[in-house]
Structure 1
Amino acid sequence: MPQHADTPPTTSEEALGLVRSRYAEPRLPDGTPVPLAVEEFDIGYLVYPLFPRVSRTDSAGNPLPAPPGGAKIVVSKATGESVTVPNLPTESAIALYREQNQ
């Protein structure tokens, strides 16, 4: 469900502040906070965690795919509304948001 703001963000920092006030902070298994990145685009801000890359292998040493799941958050520049989108590459996540919000 979308989260609403009193005033729309005008900077990446304001968008990040909105996300931090509305969503739980992602953490590593040891409790360390995960830094968040913000990607500004024409109609919003894409906010996502920067989890460290971990090389996972099976017992034979073959690489394993990343675990599924996760989400990115988009904050609308027009309304301040925030919504989650699947954890896709940045451009794909932005394209999906545009499709859903035309």
Structure 2
Amino acid sequence: MPEIDPPESGNRVPSSVEEALEIASTNFKPLCHDGTPASVHVEEFDIGYLVYATFPPTEPRSFGGSHLIISKVDGALTFVPNFPRSRRFPFTASVTIPTLSVGAARPMAHAV
């Protein structure tokens, strides 16, 4: 059976933090309040790269905006909200989100 190539996403797939920063430079351009470009940093994690802005200490603190995640699999770009550290989950493929359990567990119905 012939090997089938995966569909092309049209995005470049980074293989290093430097390449992720280069890709981000055309897609993620955060600005300080005075209009100057903010510093952009990249952190590698298991399935991609997290790209985020840092601002000078004199910059007023505000929450909002977004971070950019670049997939190591297909180069897909995903913007995620910027939450304070106390409200963030770690960026990893093995994240388990806690759930609240009310009453007995019931199987979910599947649509046909």
State the percentage of identical aligned residues. Answer: 37
Which aligned runs of 4 or more in structure 1 are off by greater than 4 angstroms?
Answer: none
The match for 1:44 is 48
Higher relative contact order (CA 8 A, sep 6+): 1
Q: Distance in 1 between matches of 2:33 and 2:63?
A: 16
TM-score, structure 1 normalization:
0.66
Q: Distance in 1 between matches of 2:59 and 2:45?
A: 31
The match for 1:68 is 63
Q: Distance in 1 between matches of 2:90 and 2:66?
A: 9
- RMSD, matched Cα: 2.6
Q: Distance in 2 between matches of 1:45 and 1:27?
A: 20
Q: Distance in 1 between matches of 2:63 and 2:31?
A: 17
**What are structure 1's unaligned runs of at least 5 residues?**
57-65
**What are structure 2's unaligned runs of at least 5 residues?**
1-8, 97-112
TM-score, structure 2 normalization:
0.61
Q: Does residue 17 of the first structure (1) align with residue 12 of the second (2)?
A: no
